Structure 1
Amino acid sequence: MAEITGVPEYDEAAIQRIRDFVEATMGGRIVRMEQQVRWRPAWFADVEVDGKITELHLRGDRTGDVAIFPDLKREADIISVLYDQGIPVPQVHGYLADPPCIVMESIQGTRDLSGLSAEAHSAIGREYMAAVAAMHKVPVEAFADVDIHVPQGAEEIALIGLNTYMPQYLRTKKRPEPLLEFVIQWIRRNVPRHRTRAAFIQFDSGQFLVHEQRMTKLYDFEFSMIGDPMVDLATMGMRNTIEPMGAPLPELFGYYEQASGEPLDHDAILFHVLQFSLLGTMQFTGTVADPRPADPHSVYLQFDLALRRSILLALSQLAGVPLPELPPLAERTGDNATLIRKLADTLSGVAPRDPVAEGHKAQVVELIEWVARADAHGAAMVARNIAEVSAFLKRDFADWPSAEAALEAFVLAAGPDQDAALITLLGAIEGRRLQVFGPTSIGEAALHVRLPQSRLDGA
């Protein structure tokens, strides 16, 4: 088997194979093909068929060490099932295996809901939540030919995400992860036993487009599975902190209750906020610790910091343990500040050749900003973390890797009686990291993470 790389090979020859496949599949001629500027290969294409233009989206595969379901065809098959069931998703026209590419309908619209009236937000919210409720009612048997696992019983339904992500986490983990190991144990001990109905879930939900003040279609089913439908309510609430849903969440969730005919389970939603935050962090921990060539490292750092903040907020509320209040950082200039400024200055004179290169340059600018904060505050943060772990474990450590490894070993052996103390310690360690890197372009999203206010009264 060939070595897995951060991004599949989409060279000129591969792109030509995509073009040939699209034209053969659609029976027409590509008159425009424009690469989408993002961290995975994707294109918008216009195909002329019998004098008419058909707009397509060509979705490539990012695989690498962050792929939970490496086969892109799985997503194509899922979208096709949903389309056949009447769910508003793009129509799939074909799938190319080499290089992996889904040829599908291009959805009209945008994700930017700013400027719309409150009435438009409410109308879009009703349409979106009706689509989600309908998706949750699709019989799981409809996915039999797609080979999606159907969990049985409350524990497997609740933990389908964890069980699915665990192999990738164990394979790619590069360093001790005391926070993640603690939360893995905590959620296994605190499964909502009353949740016994499984449904198809988008899993990474809240992804839809709007055109002319109407919702058009749902998109992105890369991580879809069958599990507790409350997962989708939890994850759309998390997405709302960085990509607003439009209408207030309590209003949206009220629409879901009307469309589904079932009341929301607010405690289960919070449980799944915790689990989804954990899984996202597990997914990226390997590449954050040891970036692979071509990885969009600034994007993964952003995910990692924001998801760890979400973990701590949800865990604190579920366990009833307040997070520690930390003293503010004493601002200082890093020892390498002059060199870092010169690096940024040199980069500013580089002229990107196209929008993709412009995106790469923007990531480098963000990473330089991150490095400057590490230069100024990283040593003090590490020293404080070592001191607190040493005091907690009553052992001295020469460096952070040995302290972190010892803390993970303690977590793995600890019982529930240590929960409060560990939440406090882990909250301080992660809180200091947020203090250091939150005031950066990468860290800004983490500073705005809030728990979804799902109850209709906003409580």
Structure 2
Amino acid sequence: MSGGNMAEKDLATRVARVLGRNSVRLEDLPPGSSRGAARVLSEEGEPIAFLRIDLGVATDVTVGKALVSEMALVKRAHDLGFPVPKVFALLNDPPVAVMELAAGTARPDEAEAERVGPEFMGHIARLHSIAPAEFGLDAPATVSDAIRQDLDCYMADAEARGITRRPLVRLAARILRHALPRSAEPPAMLHGDVGAGNFMVDNGRVSAILDWELAHAGDIHEDLAWLWTRGAHTAFGDPRQRIAEYEAAAGKALDPDRLAWHVAFVTFKSVIGLQRRMYAQGDDPGLLIILIAILTYETLLCAALGRILGIQLDMMEEAPVEGVTETVRLIELMRHVAPPANREGELLQQYLRAEAAQRPWNADRLRADARERLGAHPDQLDMLVDSAAPDRFADLLRVFGAAAGRRCKAFPNAERRVRRALAIGLGKQN
């Protein structure tokens, strides 16, 4: 927020009033899934507070909580002694939370991540020991009920936004429902997005746990599954070490099969959230990053679903074959007559050219996979996703997994993220 228009100046004036300052400046930070963020700077340029701003992307509060609901959870967590920023005030039009500025960094280096790992996992274990009602949340009777309700909410949101037009989304939902964990335990209080990037570290201690937007009642294995899924883009050591630290703090062992299921589930949630951002109305300066993430997480979703089905997918090993098409020639002409103005524009044009050049190869390989694996034409895949019996899930997934892996070949950043996530165990058999 540069303060260049009247709405931003009015917001800065209101924030200054809350903080007891004559004036402040607002400095934009990269947005999350449905929240904007800004540092509040004093007249001298010193960071003094933090803003969390509702961008109106996730309007369905069953999927992403409204800002006022999120802040109620943060306030309760603060009262219970968790390291969370203090909420100074809630403003309207747009909805904005004025919060304490947490000290430290959300990107600790490897050594610091290892130092704070046991402390952070201890906080998560303690959170899981508190009943959701203590946070003002209603909860279904059992963990299985909570999981089923959560999956239903994500699918309803995806249906409403047209995201279920993507066959992989529907196939993933069918596999998840088929293998849904059975547990009569009462649901636990979950943070909903555990891992690096969502907590701050300062002088070797956890200074703040951030981003409670997805907090809900559910299965503790879901929170731990995020360690793998978030690890695709932000490292936090070996997830298996973090799990050991959690088990030591909680005094109980996790179920590897339930954990594997939830790795697939939270990766599925990530795909839905990214698609929501991609097709939301309005300009989003982070669309290139979202595109990279979609390519990454659709491939990782296939790997995680394969683990549920007990199969190891062969992905990312085929060398791409590029051809010259009309679209390729037009993109090359565009790069010549209208060179990109910045690095992001250059990356986007490189991706568009590579995707267009690899499209015939992708189509040929998809036809071959559909014929060899399913005895079907690619045009039949959409129908098979909805009608095939569960014993065909593995072959369908092999076809979609190979296709997702090939799509990553057009964007090296996506391929690197996939390989990093696979290296820390996402999709591997127990």
TM-score range, shorter chain: 0.7 to 0.9
Name 1:25's counterpart in structure 2: 18
**What's the secondary structure of 1:102's corresponding residue?**
strand
- Counterpart in 1 of 2:365? 384
* 1:282-309 deviations in Å (ceiling 9; x for gaps): 2333554x56431332122122122112
Q: Distance in 2 between matches of 1:408 and 1:448?
A: 30
CA–CA separation in structure 1 for the residues paired with 2:267 and 2:59 = 15
Aligned partner of 1:58 in structure 2 is 51
Match of 1:208 among 195, 199, 204: 199
Distance 1:408 1:113, change over 3 A: same
Separation in 2, partners of 1:209, 1:396: 50
- 1:78-227 correspondence runs (5 A): 78-114=73-109, 117=111, 120-144=112-136, 148-173=137-162, 176-194=165-183, 196-206=185-195, 207-227=198-218
Secondary structure at 1:74 match in 2: helix
- With over 3 angstroms needed to count, the CA separation of the structure-2 counterparts of 1:232 and 1:287, relative to structure 1, is closer
For the Cα contact (< 8 Å) 2:36–2:55, is it kept in 1? yes
- The more displaced of 67-76 and 386-395 is 386-395
Q: 1:437 aligns with which of 401, 410, 423?
A: 410
Kept in 2, the 8 Å contact 1:238–1:450? The answer is no
CA contact under 8 A between 1:56 and 1:103: conserved in structure 2? yes
| TM-score, L = length of structure 1 | 0.81
Post-superposition offset of 1:335: 4.6
- In structure 2, distance between residues paired with 1:311 and 1:229: 20
In structure 2, distance between residues paired with 1:408 and 1:339: 31
Name the residue aligned to 2:309.
319
Residues 126, 255 of structure 1: 8 Å contact kept = yes
CA deviations on 1:246-290 (whole Å, 9 max, x unpaired) are 4x32322222112111212222111101011112212333554x5
8 Å contact kept, 1:158–1:195:
no
- Hey, what's the Cα distance between the residues in 2 that align with 1:191 and 1:414? 18
**Are residue 44 (structure 1) and residue 39 (structure 2) matched?**
yes
Q: Which residue of 2 aligns with 1:7?
A: none
1:311 Cα deviation (Å)? Answer: 1.4
Number of residues of Structure 1 aligned to a counterpart in Structure 2: 418
CA distance in structure 2 between the aligned counterparts of 1:274 and 1:110, rounded to whole angstroms: 29
State the partner residue of 1:244. 235
Stretch moving more, 258-267 or 172-181: 172-181
What do the CA deviations read for 1:32-63 (whole angstroms, capped 9, x no partner)? Answer: 43222446532111458xx9x88210111222
Query: Could you report, residue by residue, the CA deviation over 1:355-387 in whole angstroms, capped at 9, with x for unpaired residues?
Result: xxxxxx554333222201112111331243245
Question: Percent identical across equivalent pairs?
Answer: 23
- Quote the Cα distance in structure 2 between the aligned partners of 1:249 and 1:175: 31
Single out whichever of 252-261 and 362-371 deviates more from structure 2. Answer: 362-371
- CA shift, 1:12, in A, is 2.5
Read off the aligned partner of 1:260 and give its amino acid letter: A
CA distance in 2, matches of 1:84, 1:346: 59
Note if contact 2:85-2:100 (Cα within 8 Å) is conserved in structure 1: yes
Residue 371 of structure 1 corresponds to 352
Pair 193,224 (structure 1): closer, same or farther in 2 beyond 3 Å: same
Name the aligned partner's letter for residue 124 of structure 1: V
Q: Unpaired segments of 5 or more residues in structure 1?
A: 1-9, 351-360, 398-402
User: Which stretch shows the higher mean deviation, 310-319 or 65-74?
Assistant: 65-74
CA distance in structure 1 between the partners assigned to 2:288 and 2:243 by the alignment:
32
Greater relative contact order: 1 or 2 (C-alpha under 8 angstroms, separation 6 or more)? 1
- CA 1:287–1:386 in structure 2 vs 1: closer, same or farther (change >3 Å)? farther
1:328 and 2:336 equivalent?
no
Contact 2:303 / 2:401 at 8 angstroms: preserved in 1? no
C-alpha separation in 1, matches of 2:132 and 2:28 = 35
Cα 1:105–1:315 shift into 2, 3 Å? same
Aligned counterpart, 1:400: none
Whether the 8 Å CA contact 1:181–1:408 is kept in 2: the answer is: no
Deviations 1:130-153 (A, max 9, x none): 111122122211222xxx441222
Which residue of structure 2 lines up, in the alignment, with residue 5 of structure 1?
A: none
The one-letter amino acid of 1:423's match is L
- Pair 444,29 (structure 1): closer, same or farther in 2 beyond 3 Å: farther
Contact 1:335 1:376 in 2 (8 A): no
CA–CA distance in 2 between the matches of 1:224 and 1:348? 44
Give a deviation string over 1:406-454, Cα, whole Å, max 9, x none. 42322222222212222222222223223x3242x35532342227559
CA distance in 1, matches of 2:59, 2:324: 35
Q: Aligned partners of 1:442 and 1:315: how far apart in 2?
A: 19
2:421 matched residue in structure 1: 449
Unaligned stretches of 5+ residues in structure 2: none
Q: Deviations over 1:81-137 (max 9, x none)?
A: 1111111111111111211111111111113322x64xx443311111111112212
In 2: Cα distance, 1:299 partner to 1:66 partner: 22
Distance (Å, rounded) in 1 between the aligned partners of 2:249 and 2:37: 34
How far did 1:336 drift?
A: 4.8
Mapped to 1, the partners of 2:120 and 2:290 lie a distance apart of 28
1:165/1:11 CA distance change after superposition, 3 Å: farther
Aligned Cα RMSD in Å? 3.1
Letter in 2 for 1:318: I
